[in-house]
Homo-oligomer: A and B are copies of this chain.
């Protein structure tokens, strides 16, 4: 069992049987979505949805809520569906063959089917949430969904750009990752009996999401590949300008603006690491974890719930350790 799995185990045990049951219901819900859209989608969506992953966003929904309201399950399914929709489209754009060790929809069914599958997963995310009857919830999801698309646009617009600032990088992390973490927490609060804390818990989720993305970008440079499942410097290969590269260029302006082979990416990753900036990037990320945990202290929530949320924030760091 690796560290990340151990950490998820700790979260699950802190969340207790209630969390486990909500996650099971979410799986059933996702399976039903995959079954209910005809033969064409069935095959594509089933593979995507069954491939699993950590279900981190649903976990956030459930830890920010309480009780076992069907609407919590709907929200958990919705945020996971939206996340998957973006993954399916990302795989199309990156012409990615594998994700989590399985062939992507793009690889098995081609570009058109994968684009339509992503569109359908988008639609189902909103359909799940619409069924709750909550305008505020649908608005939270659509705000996040817009942000994800804007983040993706920004990432592609900034590709290979040597002038991306740390501020702009942070804004991109907020759009492409933190926005859905924020929405997940907000939805949990809304449907879990604490609508008064929707803003505060959303803020917690945003900070966790920022740290998650920033540490992910550090991992991309530091690897090791057997842990991350991708070659070191994958971001460099597709032109994504991340904080480690931005900071490293200040120290070593001769760092290449682009690389084209896995070996060049590994070599550039070594040079970035040699500048010592990974520590700085990690420190900046940890500051967001700390802010997330501090914000918890101000919340009127049970000790158990605060403990579980705190474990999630720590889990983001553990991924890196």
Binding site for B on A (CB under 8 A): 37-38, 40-41, 44, 85-86, 89, 92-93, 110-113, 115-120, 122-124, 126-127, 129-135, 138-139, 141-143, 145-146, 148-150, 152-154, 156-157
Contact = CB atoms under 8 A, between A and B. Distances in A.
Contacts of A40: 150, 153-154, 157
Contacts of A139: 127, 130-131
A176 to B, nearest CB: 10
| Chain A interface, >50% SS class | helix
Contact of A135 (B38, B41, B133, B148): B133
Contact of A130 (B85, B118, B138, B157): B138
A37 B86 CA distance: 18
B138 A89 contact: no
Nearest to A129: B138
Nearest to A137: B130
A290 B297 CA distance: 66
A28 to B, nearest CB: 19
A111 B89 CA distance: 11
23 contacts: A37-B146, A41-B153, A44-B153, A85-B119, A93-B111, A93-B112, A110-B156, A112-B152, A116-B153, A118-B119, A119-B122, A120-B150, A122-B122, A122-B123, A123-B146, A123-B148, A124-B142, A126-B141, A127-B139, A130-B135, A131-B139, A132-B135, A135-B135
